[in-house]
Amino acid sequence: MTLSSRMLRPVDPGLVSQALEVAGRLAGDATDVITATAGRGARPTTKESPFDWVTDTDRTLERHTRRVLAAEFPGIPVVGEEYGDDSGAEHAEYRWVVDPVDGTANYVAGIPWCSYSLALVDADGPVVSVVADPYRGQVYSAGRGRGARANGALVRVPECAGTAGAIVCTELTGGDAWPGMARFVERAARAHSGTRILGSSALAVTQVALGHAVAAVLDGYREWDVAGALGIATEAGAVILDRRGRQATLPLDGMLVAAPTVADDVLGWWTGAQEE
């Protein structure tokens, strides 16, 4: 059974509408900037490791996002990858969570697979979510209880008979394979499912909502990597489980996002691979 957004606390409809409009506008701005600059003199530097890129675009988009949100939603703090947490964000009723470029290494290399992610989050998880997929000209969005959309068209996780012949996404953790990752890939292959590591956690989760993949397993990430995509997956009807198999809206220590009919199978691959 999926965790319906209707089981979560209600939110002022006016706030949801305003947040969807502003977040969509910011996603459009990010799409323009990313497509205009990707792979062309992005002037990258590194943070914690040689593969942990940060660029002028990351910083510029996050500053722009923060300026717009401060003007439109005064009093709601922002949590971002490049500039950290606003004062009081941890205990605020609502907070904005932004990742200006998820998949920065792909962006630097000019590989067409990165995203902009923004979510309004409360204690129950994402309230409003937007993920921009610049290279495909798509903006995915969701509001609690309002469904998930791709460029305005409603999307739902399609029914699937099983994992055979299907795609399962995962991602590295901090540039490294996570414990049991090779065994997970082997288990998926034995079930005739293909595993893909594409370089953007937000887009990996979004592929499940769109029906391009039947599941995504993320063993490690930060809140800003996934908050936007999880709201979209929830509203599209995906199952979201933590590493112990419990339903959650925003798990922060490993997650499985899956079509409901295959969630148990993929969870078994994941947990079994880590126990071997």
Q: Say what the pLDDT of residue 272 is.
A: 92
- pLDDT reported for residue 1: 45
pLDDT band of 275, cuts 50, 70, 90: confident
Q: Let me know whether 146 and 249 are in one domain.
A: no
Residue carrying structure tokens 């290279």: 135
pLDDT of residue 55: 85
pLDDT digits (tens, 9 = 90+) for 52-102: 567 889 999 999 999 999 999 999 999 998 888 999 999 999 999 999 999
Tens of pLDDT along 208-266?
999 999 999 999 999 999 999 999 999 999 999 999 999 999 998 899 999 999 999 99
CATH code of residue 227: 3.40.190.80
pLDDT digits (tens, 9 = 90+) for 204-219: 999 999 999 999 999 9
Q: Tell me: is residue 32 an annotated ligand-binding position.
A: no
Same domain, 25 and 128: yes
Do 116 and 187 fall within a single domain?
Answer: no
The residues, ordered by sequence, that sit 6+ positions from 119 with a Cβ below 8 Å of its Cβ are 96, 97, 98, 126, 127, 128, 129, 130, 227, 228, 230, 231
Domain for residue 116, yes or no? Answer: yes
Q: Is 99 annotated as a binding residue?
A: yes
Q: Are 30 and 130 contained in the same domain?
A: yes
- Three-class DSSP labels, 99-159: EEEECHHHHHHCCCCCEEEEEEEECCEEEEEEEEEHHHCEEEEEECCCEEEECCEEECCCC
Q: In this structure, are 93 and 191 located in the same domain?
A: no
| Pairing relationship of beta strands 138-143 and 125-133 according to DSSP bridges | antiparallel
pLDDT at 274: 85
Could you tell me which of 128, 127, 158 has the C-alpha nearest to residue 141?
Answer: 128
pLDDT score recorded for residue 174:
83
Q: How many domains does the chain have?
A: 2
Supply the pLDDT for residue 244. 93
Residue 93 labeled ligand binder: no
Q: What is the distance in angstroms between the CA of the first residue and the CA of the last residue of the chain?
A: 28
In this predicted structure, the answer to whether residue 49 has a pLDDT above a threshold of 60 is no
State whether 140 and 74 are in the same domain: yes
Question: pLDDT over 90 for what percent of the chain?
Answer: 81
Q: Where a domain ends, among 107, 129, 154?
A: 154
Say if residue 198's pLDDT is above 70.
Answer: yes
127 and 195 co-located in one domain: no
pLDDT exceeds 70 at position 3 = no
CATH number at residue 114: 3.30.540.10
- Residue 102 assigned ligand-binding role: yes
Range of the domain at 247: 167-273
Q: Give the pLDDT confidence score for residue 47 in this predicted structure.
A: 55
Q: Could you tell me the pLDDT band of residue 8, with boundaries at 50, 70 and 90?
A: confident
Domain endpoint, select from 132, 154, 176: 154
Q: Are residues 172 and 148 in the same domain?
A: no
Residue 199 lies in a domain: yes
| Residue with more model confidence, 176 or 46 | 176
For residue 122, is pLDDT > 50? Answer: yes
Q: Is the pLDDT of residue 48 over 60?
A: no
Q: Say whether both 28 and 145 belong to one domain.
A: yes
Q: What is the mean pLDDT of the chain?
A: 92
Question: pTM here?
Answer: 0.92
Domain boundary among 131, 154, 177: 154
In a shared domain, residues 92 and 24: yes
Residue 38 lies in a domain: yes
Q: Are residues 150 and 17 part of one domain?
A: yes
